[in-house]
Every structure is written in C-alpha cells, then in structure tokens.
Amino acid sequence: MKPPKFMYCDPDTVEDAIALKSRYGHDSLVLAGGQSLMPMLNMRLANPDVLIDINGISDLKRITRTGEVLEIGAGVRQSELETDAAVADAVPLLGKVVPYIGHIENRHRGTVGGSLAHADAAAELPCAAITLDATVVVQGPSGRREIAARDFFEGFMTNACAPDELVVAVRFPVASAASGSAFVEVARREGDFALAAAAAVAEVGTDGRFTALSIGVAGIAATPVRATVVEEALVGQAATAENIAAAAKRIADRVTAGDDLHATGTYRKHLAATVVKRAVVAAVADAQNRSNGS
C-alpha cells in the first residue's frame, strides 16, 4: 500500500503543467486534491510515469464573480466552498451540495476541478454542475476552451478533456433571486458515495406554477443525468406535492445502473424518484422562503 515510483513534477504555472501534459500525455496523471488519485496510487491501481502536482499553481485558486458569472478555479478546495460568502450569495446550491462530499478531512484537500475531472457519476459536484448549466474551462497548448457541463461528462469516469488539456476553472451562472435550491442524497453511511442523489433549482410564479426548473441526478447511470423528462412535465404546472411526486416517477426510465453490492437496480429506480421528489419539494419551499424573506 505504497505509491509506485514516478517522476514528481510540481509546476508553478498552468502553462508549465500543460507543457508536461503535452509531453507525457497518457503516461502522466494530474494530482489535484488527491482524495481519489492517492488511494489509486497507494493501491497501485494507477501507475503513472509522471505525476503532475498542480497544488502549487496559485492561479487555479481564485474565486471571482464577474457580473452574473461565478468562476471557481480548479484548485479551490471543496471546504472553501462551504464557508465562502461570495459563493453562498451567488450560487446557494453549492453550499448545500458540498457538505455531502466525503468527510471534512477529504474536503480540506479535495478540489473543485479534481472532482469534476474525476467524473464519478455518483459524485456531488458533477451533479451540481449539470443542474446549474455550468461551463467547464479547460486549457491546452493552443489555449482555452469552454465545455458545457452536460457535454463534459462523457461516460463512466471519462471527461471531454484531451490528454494535453487541464481543467482550469468552472463557471456557474449566478442564481436568480427568485429561485430556490435543494440537494437530497441517500447513502449507506455518512460520507459514502450516493446510492442516489438529486439537486434541484426551482422558480415558481405568483400563480403557484413552475416557471423554471432544473434537476440533476447522481448515482443512477454512467454520468450524472439531467432529469429533463421531469422538468418538462412540471414547468407550467402547479408546484404541488402531488404533481411533483407524479412527475418524479418519470426519472425511473433514465436509471441504467443495475444491481451491485450496494443496491439493486430496482431499488435505485425507486430511490431516484424519491430523491428527485424530495429535492424539488425542498427547492420549492426554499424559493418561497427566499421570496417571503426578501
């Protein structure tokens, strides 16, 4: 249970990190917070020739708000999102999602970019990213490009980065003042990966009908899934518990995860509908609280 030998590189700049990625490609791995990669190195499931540690790159550690966009650097620690006032103000959903990532000992090291790049379908930040229509910013030798979160998660632990590209930031649209948000997760034990989890952002008009709704679901397929079928069924409808429960059942068709050690596929279908229902109900309540409070 010790890491294998590798050439350890700790570049100070994004450009140097990309130069190393360009040179070593698939023979290299990027070490961000290390909460997934270090176990893989210790167990020798990963055996890179070159380890590119990006923890020393200060340019990746910024949180900046520009107008209606909150940009979070890839190297920002997850625990910072829990306590950062600018984040809580701009994108309240993030503060609700982050406490479910592992334990605080993991979040003190784990990074925003690391979680996105790792692309675990049961992970919280990828689920939040697709729910919020975030944009992942990646940089390679020829410059930066922006990838919609929906397109970033390509398959089981697979993202849309080329071998010479690095995730450098993620951009979230600032939440509308009228919206409410919620995150609901079911796991066997606290800090475990979700059996199923759902994030929801809802806006409800003065007539009590949904004017906007986005829902992301984790743990039910090879990637986090946007619950488009549920969103379409509810927008324009009255935001009642009955309507939400009926529409939430539609997510079951999107569950492709089968039986495993932790749950049966049948149970996951049931759970997916349950977490979607609870998340939407809670997001509606949050929207109402916010509008009453303001």
Partner 1 sequence: MTTTENSPEARYAGDTRTVTLRVNGQEVTREVPTRTTLADFLRDDLDLVSVHLGCEHGVCGCCTVLLDGGSVRSCLMLAVQAQGHEIETVESLSADQNNLHPIQEAFAEEQGLQCGFCTPAMVLRTKEILADGQERTDDEVRHEISGILCRCTGYQNIINAVQNAGRKLRCGGAGGCGSAHDEAKGA
* Contact positions vs partner 1 (CB under 8 A): 1-10, 16, 19-20, 23, 31, 34-35, 38-39, 42-43, 49, 53, 55, 79, 102-106, 108-109, 189-191
Vertex 112: Cα angle to 107 and 113 (nearest 5): 135
- CB 8 → partner 1: shortest distance, Å? 4
* Nearer to partner 1 among residue 96 and residue 249 (C-beta): 96
* Nearer to partner 1 among residue 49 and residue 89 (C-beta): 49
* Nearer to partner 1 among residue 54 and residue 147 (C-beta): 54
* Nearer to partner 1 among residue 3 and residue 265 (C-beta): 3
Residue 55 CA to residue 23 CA, distance in Å, equals 20
Secondary structure, 3-state, 90-138: HCHHHHHHHHHCCCHHHHCCCEHHHHHHHCCCCCHHHHHHHHCCCEEEE
- CB 53 → partner 1: shortest distance, Å? 7
- Number of C-beta neighbours around residue 10 at 10 A: 14
- CB 7 → partner 1: shortest distance, Å? 6
- CB 174 → partner 1: shortest distance, Å? 28
Query: Of 233, 227, 232, whose CA–CA distance to 279 is shortest?
Result: 227
Phi first, then psi, for residue 92 (nearest 5°) are: -55, -30
- CB 14 → partner 1: shortest distance, Å? 14
- CB 246 → partner 1: shortest distance, Å? 34
How far is the CA of 93 from the CAs of 81, 90, 125, 227, in angstroms? 11, 9, 10, 17
* Nearer to partner 1 among residue 106 and residue 288 (C-beta): 106
* Nearer to partner 1 among residue 52 and residue 90 (C-beta): 52
